[in-house]
Amino acid sequence: MTTKWSPKDPQDIRDYWIDFRPLLPDGVTITAATVDVPSDQATPVSPFQLLAKVSSDIVNDDLWVVARYSGGTPGKYSTQYHITASDGQQFDLTKILEVKERIQ
C-alpha cells in the first residue's frame, strides 16, 4: 500500500490504483468507497488547471479502488480515500498525487 504513484501530466486523464488487501482480514472485501480531491485548490483559469476526479470504482475481487483523474497544475495533491469493509470496518487513507509536466 505504500507504493508511490508515478507523476501525472496535467493533460493526462489517468487511472491510479490502491490495493487495500494489507488492511483487510482474509475473506473481507470492500463494500463501499469514496474518493475526494482537494477542495482548497485555487480557482482555475482553464478546466485543465483544476485536478478533478473523473470516476472511481471498486475492482479486483472487491479489494482495490481505482480512481481516474484529469487536469491539475504542477504540484502535489492530497487525495482522500474512505472505504467500508464487508465486516463493518472503515478505513481512511490519504495518498499524494503529484502533477508534473512531462519533458520530452
Domain boundaries, the chain: 13-99
Q: Is 32 exposed, middle or buried (0-12, 13-18, 19+ CB in 10 A)?
A: exposed
Please give the CATH number for the structural domain made up of 13-99: 2.60.40
| Per-residue pLDDT, 2 | 53
Rounded to two decimals, what is the model's pTM? 0.86
Give the residue from 73, 21, 68, 85 showing the smallest Cα distance to 42.
73
| Per-residue pLDDT, 90 | 97
Section 9-38 average pLDDT: 94
For residue 8, is pLDDT > 90? yes
Contact 30, 83 (CB under 8 A): yes
pLDDT tens-place string over residues 28-87:
999 999 999 877 766 655 656 788 899 999 999 999 999 999 988 888 998 999 999 999
| Per-residue pLDDT, 73 | 87
Q: Amino acid identity of 57?
A: D
Q: Report the C-alpha dihedral over residues 95, 79, 18, 5, rounded to 10 degrees.
A: -60
User: How big is the chain by its Cα radius of gyration, in Å?
Assistant: 15
Summary count for the chain: helices (H), strands (E):
0, 6
